[in-house]
């Protein structure tokens, strides 16, 4: 997930290099890292759900930053829609995992 966002943020104006670009990269990476942490600790149901919730929060943040980038005209409509659809799919998967932890080995 984070790779597409990284490439996209390279096209932003240079004055955004240390703000919007960093925020998109950070939140998209943390979405993945939190998911990895959740899965590694899936034997602890409460921890598993907590880290998945963190992942979902980071995913939502990424969507917010993408919307901001689109509104600032740093992203085309097509690219914004593609990345937003990807983020929404990740959100649906995370939501399913949070509501069905036993299907992912959480006890």
Cα–Cα distance, 15 to 8 (Å, whole number): 15
Across the range 26-32, mean pLDDT stands at 95
pLDDT score recorded for residue 95: 97
Q: Show Cβ contacts of residue 103 under 8 Å, excluding neighbours closer than 6 positions.
A: 97
Instruction: Return the structure tokens found at 92.
Output: 């649906």
Q: In the Cβ-directed half-sphere of 106, how many Cα atoms lie within 13 Å? A: 23
Question: Is the pLDDT confidence value at 11 over 70?
Answer: no
pLDDT score recorded for residue 18: 61
User: At which residue do the structure tokens 């943020």 appear?
Assistant: 9
Q: Show Cβ contacts of residue 107 under 8 Å, excluding neighbours closer than 6 positions.
A: 43, 45
The proportion of the chain whose per-residue pLDDT surpasses 90, expressed as a percent, equals: 67
pLDDT score recorded for residue 98: 97
pLDDT score recorded for residue 22: 85
Range name among 5-9, 25-29, 50-54 with the lowest pLDDT average: 5-9
């Amino acid at each position: 997930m984070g790779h597409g966002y990284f490439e996209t943020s390279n096209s932003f104006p240079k004055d955004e290099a240390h703000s919007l670009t960093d925020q998109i990269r950070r939140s998209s990476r943390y979405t993945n890292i939190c998911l990895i942490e959740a899965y590694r600790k899936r034997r602890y149901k409460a921890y598993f759900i907590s880290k998945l919730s963190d992942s979902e929060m980071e995913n939502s943040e990424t969507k917010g930053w993408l919307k901001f980038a689109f509104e600032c005209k740093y992203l085309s409509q097509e690219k914004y829609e593609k990345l937003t659809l990807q983020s929404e799919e990740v959100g649906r998967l995370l939501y399913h995992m949070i509501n069905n932890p036993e299907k992912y080995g959480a006890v």
